[in-house]
Amino acid sequence: MPDPTPHPLDQLAERGRAQAPALVLRDTVLTYEALRNRVALLAAWLAEQARPGARVASWAAKGELTCLLPLAAARAGLVHVPINPLLKRAQVAHILADSGAVLLLGTKARLASLEAGDVPTGCRVLEESETFARAEERNGALSPSAHDPDALAAILYTSGSTGKPKGVMLSHANMWLGAVSVAHYLGMAADDVTLAVLPLSFDYGQSQLLSTWYAGGCVVPLDYLFPRDVAKACARHGVTTLAAVPPLWVQLTEIDWPAEAVAAMRRLTNSGGALTRDLVEDLRRMFPQSKLFPMYGLTEAFRSTYLDPDLVDEHPTSMGRAIPMAEILVVTDDGQLAEPDEEGELVHCGPLVAQGYWQDAERTAQRFKPAPAMSEYGGTAVWSGDRVMRDEGGLLYFVGRRDAMIKSAGNRISPQELESAALGTGLVAEAVALGVPDERLGHAIHLVVRPAPDAKAPETDLPKALKKELPNFMQPHVIHWRDTLPLNPNGKLDRTAIAVEIGA
């Protein structure tokens, strides 16, 4: 197993052979030597823009900037805040204000969509193309650092079951050890080619970069429009590693794959939702020589479990066992270690546990607590809120969640955020957002609403208003209009009764 001793995150750029390809961009290929030089160049410029510990946000599609910032910001002693490029201005404004970002780097079109008041006072805005131009003009180079491994390196914003997105704080050690762990259990090597199709604003997306570079391999970022674009890229670049979420896997199994796209594929990885038996069979049929790695993770602990590919056929619905450097406990409601086949909460202990939520002591205290007494690691553990069971052989199985989180097309969606957006239009008086099981999406988003008394054409205007305020992945698939919504004995909207009514 690789040496788990924490190293500065920026050392990842040093892993590969000097002339080996590290990053394949649209118009150029960066070798490891070029990657080291570009990270040093960008880091030197960033270090002059803000004091150590300041937050630097990025809002752009996959490209050189978004791929290098995780390393360059860390080397400069700054904290990277990657923003999902699919988000709209309202969500971006919240992240900028909440993180206290002093610099926003983004594409011209995205920055142009921001309105007055969206960018906090003291936050500078710079187009992506200008960033490297200014760094090159300065022509500096910042050497690899020796930052404290426990220092904050990134804040990844993730939706919770209630409220607006919250920022998960990751240290240099969290991200470094995550890369080591994933590269180890996937068996990645220096001749691997990873197609990065997942958003780099997610921990799963960043893992595409960091674990590949830890192994000395090559990353090919891809913003795809159609599933066939993924297959074409796999054939063009000889891709060996492909990570996706279940809805994308469903789409990928519905297209024809050229033989050259399949031939080099060594491994397929899945997270963001469970694979079905049918999907496992389809992937096995299409990629007979590839290893299939079902995985489970949460941003608060990066990654928690994986299922050994040799066990997938016999246990296709299992979450597997703990990944290297993670301890996974199943804890009952009375705080005891669950017996085999007894349901409990998944508790993740060890060095991959994040540092909590940015400037949110209340929610941090709810999720990040002292590890149970039976933990070998001790320290702080993250209590996932997910209900699981462990069988006699030690394999874990997902049971369900305590909260009302909607997981649709691999995205975690806060019902309250969607409800707040609907109420904010002034077109509805009450709103309840729920996830309804869907074979393709995981959950289809259903919005149950009562129109505002003075709304003239709410059924027509509400979808238009939501499209303006929310990203595509948060748009409701079905809107149910009701004259009244049921209440529970406490006078609150009866979410359970509503869920039963619509089949959620």
The answer to whether 260 touches 231, Cβ cutoff 8 Å, is no
- Please, what is the angle between helix 32-47 and helix 128-138, to 10°? 90
Q: How many CB atoms lie within 10 A of CB 189?
A: 12
Task: Return the pLDDT at 118.
Answer: 96
In a domain, 432, yes or no: yes
Other CB atoms closer than 10 Å to residue 393's CB: what's the count? 10
Question: How many residues does the structure list for the chain?
Answer: 504
Classify residue 433: in a domain, yes or no. Answer: yes
104 lies in some domain = no
Residue 314's CB is within 10 A of a number of other CB atoms, namely 8
The pLDDT value recorded for residue 504 is 73
In a domain, 151, yes or no: no
Q: What are the phi and psi torsion angles at 230 (to 5°)?
A: -65, -45
- Write out the residue range of the structural domain in which residue 415 sits: 406-502
- Domain contains 108: no
Spans in the chain with pLDDT lower than 70: 1-16, 160-163, 401-404, 488-492
Q: Which pLDDT score, from 0 to 100, does residue 416 have? A: 77
CA distances from 315 to 294, 324, 371, 397 (A): 11, 20, 29, 10
Q: What are the CA-CA distances from residue 333 to residues 179, 258, 353, 415 (Å)?
A: 33, 50, 21, 25
Determine the pLDDT at residue 4.
Answer: 45
Q: Which pLDDT value is given to residue 295?
A: 95
In a domain, 396, yes or no: no
Neighbours of 262 (CB within 10 A): 17
- Total domains in the fold of the chain: 1
**What does the pLDDT read at residue 77?**
96
CA 241 vs. chain centroid, Å, equals: 18
The reported pLDDT for the residue numbered 218 is 97
CATH of residue 494's domain is 3.30.300.30
Q: Which pLDDT value is given to residue 13?
A: 66
Sign of CA dihedral 50, 56, 60, 63: positive
How much is the pLDDT for 225? Answer: 87
Per DSSP (E only), the strands in 227-311 are: 241-244, 267-270, 291-296, 305-306
Would 450 be classed as within a structural domain? yes
Locate tokens 């990645």: which residue? 188
Q: What is the pLDDT of residues 130-144, one digit of tens each?
A: 999 999 999 899 988
> Does residue 243 lie in a domain region?
no
Query: Is residue 443 within 8 Å of residue 414, measured between CB atoms?
Result: no
- Write down the pLDDT at residue 424: 87
Q: What was the pLDDT predicted at 16?
A: 66
* pTM, entire model: 0.84
